[in-house]
Structure 1
Amino acid sequence: MNNVIVIVGPTAVGKTKLSIDLAKVFRSEIISGDSMQVYQSMDIGTGKVTATEKAGIPHYMIDIKRPDEPFSAAEYQVLVQTYIQEINQKNHIPILVGGSGLYIQSVLYDYDFSNRKRNIEITKMLEKRLKEEGIDVLYEELNHIDKEQAEKIHPNNYRRVIRALEVYESTGLTMSEYHKQQTTSPNYNHFIIGLEMDRKTLYNQINNRVDSMIQQGLIHEVEHLYKQGYADCQSMKAIGYKEIIPYLKGEIDLDTAIETLKRNSRRYAKRQYTWFKNKMDIKWYTISPEGNNPLPEIIQDVEQFFSETYNKLCYKRS
């Protein structure tokens, strides 16, 4: 069975830095576990690792799609599982790092996305309702049927809303129940590292990160994409982009856009915590800006977990 180190946690908690630190120690290669970093020209708003930060370490699943191209968890799963195999064949251990819980879980537990074909008649009926009643009505219906799944879907993501309702109408199972049926056994020998932080401190980190994004040119980045005609693409519904578009349209002022972005980022972090705490077997480590560095403990725990396979790994200390 192939080996994988996984790093999860809420936005702005420090996952990228830890992945680089660990990759230097274990000569790893890094796979992004973020559903939005696959899109080109969406760098600042997605917190994409910079060329300098990469420190020469190979990174995968970044900048592989145009902003107007479709992308799904099923496609992500296939690509990442291929990379995991290739990296293990080189006697390196991949580090899967990110905050998109469903994407990461689909890889680790090998969700079967293909065996649940769409019911075309129900899908067309739901699409008709979408035109007549609007997305808000369908989203509220999903929230009533499957609150857990609704919390993972942005209200404007009509494709995923329709898909979740179609699964329920076709099978009588909610999408959450459908996923739980498929998470019985892991696909890899994996160790999951979870990073957590005092909630107030994390929220301050998020606020500061948004301010930093603005200083780095987030407004210009979103404006460039907007002028390229990507405003209505699914990629632009992501946090960091959808909040800025109303400002570009003159519908709100910049301060309101920034405060909305901070609020939505904090809410997203809370949802991420809830999801990871309930869905996966994770070893949690607390970090703080004041200097609490769990890296030595994490290295020791990773070494111990993979001790039986270390003779097969190309391993060195930095």
Structure 2
Amino acid sequence: MEELKKEKLIVLIGPTAVGKTKLSIELAKKLNAEIISGDSMQIYKGMDIGTAKITSDEMEGIPHHLIDIKEPHESFSVAEFQEIVRNLITDIHNRGKLPMIVGGTGLYIQSVIFDYQFTDNASNPEYRKTLEKQVSENGIDSLFKKLKEIDPVSAERIHPNNIRRVIRALEIVETTGKTMTEYVEGQKQELIYDVALVGLTMERGKLYERINKRVDLMVESGLLKEVTNFYSRGLRGCQSIQAIGYKELYAYLEGTLTLEEAINQLKQNTRRYAKRQLTWFRNKMDVKWFDMSLENGFKENFNEIYKYIAGKLGI
């Protein structure tokens, strides 16, 4: 009987540029759903072009949540995402609609659908004070270098100047012997929702071609102006500026790359990120995959995906 009490949830995942936005809108219309962004960077106001944020026209009247909820200088954690999204899921259900998470930040989505606990159990105040002292005396560089060596996954997500998060990641390793990611994933993986987990994939060459075209379109649409706005406001050392599309153009604005080099690096980093996303989802979650490579196959794919969700959730 307990299974029947679980709230129903659709999760639509896949690499950047695979076609999640269009599909999610059509599904939401047919399923009377509201969409929760599962992207860790679309939460930031003003980061529109670089994060391929959905426009109000593209939403076609479908309510979207967790977009533009933070200022670019603010930090945002997995634990915060988990709390906000779980409350949203209940709220959407209470209004008689279906919640659908759409996005590509794997750990964030995992934190919601599995019974992960974010507590201070992995805590060592004495060690934390030692690290804080090191920072005050020698700066953050040596600590961040240490983090890169022992927990490269966290180091990639955390900005070198985000002292609090760098120290926290090192504290978890010191206390538990596990990296932050291992610590979270080592917990019991029990689904707390009745989930239809749908993944979109695409033949790699085609996906990379779409990514390159998307970057060109972003540049044509004013990405440099968007990034320059943040740069001229003095935004440095923020979590938001670590986003792909922003860090590369910051390097151009700082004079370490030419514009052409920055754009090429942006394309390369986006392709690598897409590859990492696919690997993550395939290794960490039990996903039902659908290939979006077929030309003119959208309608066929949509019908298959809708049928799978309806069957899985009994709706």
Q: Please give the TM-score of this superposition, normalised by the length of structure 2.
A: 0.90
Paired letter, 2:252 = Y
Say if 2:113 is the partner of 1:114.
no
Residues 254 and 279 from structure 1, CA distance in 2 versus in 1: closer, same or farther, beyond 3 angstroms?
same
Residues 127 and 24 from structure 1, CA distance in 2 versus in 1: closer, same or farther, beyond 3 angstroms?
same
Q: Which of 252, 256, 261 pairs up with 1:256?
A: 261
Q: 1 CA distance for matches of 2:259 and 2:24? A: 34
Q: Which of 85, 104, 107 pairs up with 1:102?
A: 107
Give the 3-state SS of the residue equivalent to 1:94 in structure 2: strand
Q: Which of 181, 192, 210 pairs up with 1:205?
A: 210
Q: 2 CA distance for matches of 1:98 and 1:152? A: 17
Give the 3-state SS of the residue equivalent to 1:43 in structure 2: coil
Residues 259 and 159 from structure 1, CA distance in 2 versus in 1: closer, same or farther, beyond 3 angstroms?
farther
Map of 2:131 onto structure 1: 126
- Report the CA distance between 1:126 and its aligned residue: 3.0
Map of 1:236 onto structure 2: 241
Q: 2 CA distance for matches of 1:212 and 1:46? A: 12
Residues 277 and 234 from structure 1, CA distance in 2 versus in 1: closer, same or farther, beyond 3 angstroms?
same
| Contact persistence 1:73–1:106 (CA under 8 A) | yes
| Contact persistence 1:151–1:271 (CA under 8 A) | no
Map of 1:145 onto structure 2: 150
Residues 211 and 133 from structure 1, CA distance in 2 versus in 1: closer, same or farther, beyond 3 angstroms?
farther
Map of 2:70 onto structure 1: 65
**Which moves more between the two structures, 59-68 or 161-170?**
161-170
Map of 2:252 onto structure 1: 247
**Which moves more between the two structures, 5-14 or 147-156?**
147-156
**Which moves more between the two structures, 109-118 or 209-218?**
109-118
Q: 1 CA distance for matches of 2:135 and 2:17? A: 35
Q: 1 CA distance for matches of 2:279 and 2:302? A: 24
| Contact persistence 1:156–1:237 (CA under 8 A) | no
Residues 233 and 145 from structure 1, CA distance in 2 versus in 1: closer, same or farther, beyond 3 angstroms?
closer
Say if 2:293 is the partner of 1:301.
no
Map of 1:267 onto structure 2: 272
Give the 3-state SS of the residue equivalent to 1:274 in structure 2: helix
| Contact persistence 2:198–2:287 (CA under 8 A) | yes
Say if 2:46 is the partner of 1:51.
no
Map of 1:80 onto structure 2: 85
Q: CA deviation digits over 1:225-249, x for unaligned, max 9?
A: 1112223322111111011112223
**Which moves more between the two structures, 235-244 or 168-177?**
168-177
Q: 1 CA distance for matches of 2:132 and 2:267? A: 33
Q: How many residues align?
A: 308
> Percent identity at matched positions?
52
Say if 2:303 is the partner of 1:287.
no
- Report the CA distance between 1:69 and its aligned residue: 1.5
Q: 2 CA distance for matches of 1:156 and 1:202? A: 33
Q: 1 CA distance for matches of 2:162 and 2:245? A: 16
Map of 1:316 onto structure 2: none
| Contact persistence 1:6–1:190 (CA under 8 A) | yes
| Contact persistence 2:116–2:188 (CA under 8 A) | yes
Give the 3-state SS of the residue equivalent to 1:5 in structure 2: strand
Q: 2 CA distance for matches of 1:135 and 1:189? A: 43
| Contact persistence 1:109–1:182 (CA under 8 A) | no
| Contact persistence 1:4–1:191 (CA under 8 A) | yes
| Contact persistence 1:231–1:245 (CA under 8 A) | no
Paired letter, 1:181 = G
Residues 102 and 165 from structure 1, CA distance in 2 versus in 1: closer, same or farther, beyond 3 angstroms?
same
| Contact persistence 2:38–2:108 (CA under 8 A) | yes
Map of 2:17 onto structure 1: 12
Residues 253 and 91 from structure 1, CA distance in 2 versus in 1: closer, same or farther, beyond 3 angstroms?
same
Q: Which of 185, 192, 202 pairs up with 2:190?
A: 185
**Which moves more between the two structures, 125-134 or 172-181?**
125-134
Q: CA deviation digits over 1:83-134, x for unaligned, max 9?
A: 1001111221111010111111111113211243542332233344456777
Say if 2:32 is the partner of 1:35.
no
Q: 2 CA distance for matches of 1:228 and 1:279? A: 39
| Contact persistence 1:12–1:206 (CA under 8 A) | yes
Q: 2 CA distance for matches of 1:157 and 1:9? A: 28
- Report the CA distance between 1:271 and its aligned residue: 1.2
| Contact persistence 2:122–2:172 (CA under 8 A) | no
Paired letter, 2:215 = V
Paired letter, 1:246 = A
Q: 1 CA distance for matches of 2:203 and 2:143? A: 36
> Cα RMSD over matched residues?
2.2
